[in-house]
């Protein structure tokens, strides 16, 4: 394992090659699963604020769910997450030529808002679990991302480099620079 500050980081972060291949998976990580994407508590207030700008990008079903039950939900562990439509797809999903995309990110890319998307979505397939004294930073292996692993191997992109921007967003530049050093040492 790799340790930086209060983070215990799985070696998979260094070892795995990864590069999303939306042409194959069609964004199914926004559709599949048993709960919505984890939300940080501060992100709930942000979602409430930006919802009017994000709403035009959302599906009718997503809008109906948010307007009925709110911008966030609780998962099975009673932790905040994005709500789901029909117990399956994220309410913030939108479609772009048959590919599931994030309505929040579309609004961000169109410069309607300054919040890109929940950090857990930006970091995926890395998941961060918060414990009392430390954070566990792990690779979430899921067969729907097999095409991303395959493409990552073909282009030779390690997971920690593929997710540079969201890792810096979550932990900061200095932390990320330390991660790069530690991963390179680990890989020899």
Please state, as a whole number, how many other Cβ atoms lie within 10 Å of the Cβ of residue 59: 17
The mean-pLDDT minimum among 32-36, 37-41, 123-127, 162-166 falls in 32-36
pTM over 0.85: yes
The 10s digit of each residue's pLDDT in 3-32 is 999 999 999 999 999 999 888 888 888 888
């Amino acid at each position: 394992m790799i340790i930086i500050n209060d983070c215990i980081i799985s070696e998979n972060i260094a070892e795995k090659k990864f590069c999303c291949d939306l042409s194959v998976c069609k964004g199914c990580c926004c559709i599949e699963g048993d709960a919505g994407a984890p939300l940080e508590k501060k992100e709930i207030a942000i979602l409430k604020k930006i919802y009017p700008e994000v709403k035009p990008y959302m599906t009718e079903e997503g809008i109906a769910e948010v307007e009925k039950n709110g911008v966030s939900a609780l998962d099975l562990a009673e932790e905040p997450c994005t709500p789901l439509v029909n117990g399956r797809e994220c309410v913030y999903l939108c479609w772009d030529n048959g590919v599931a995309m994030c309505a929040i990110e579309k609004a961000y890319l169109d410069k309607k808002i300054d919040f890109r998307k929940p950090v857990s979505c930006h970091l995926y397939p890395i998941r961060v679990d918060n414990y009392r004294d430390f954070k566990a930073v792990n690779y979430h292996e899921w067969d729907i991302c097999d095409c991303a692993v395959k493409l990552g191997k073909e282009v030779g992109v390690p997971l920690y480099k593929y997710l540079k921007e969201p890792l810096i967003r979550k932990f900061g530049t200095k932390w990320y620079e330390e991660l790069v050093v530690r991963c390179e040492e680990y890989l020899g």
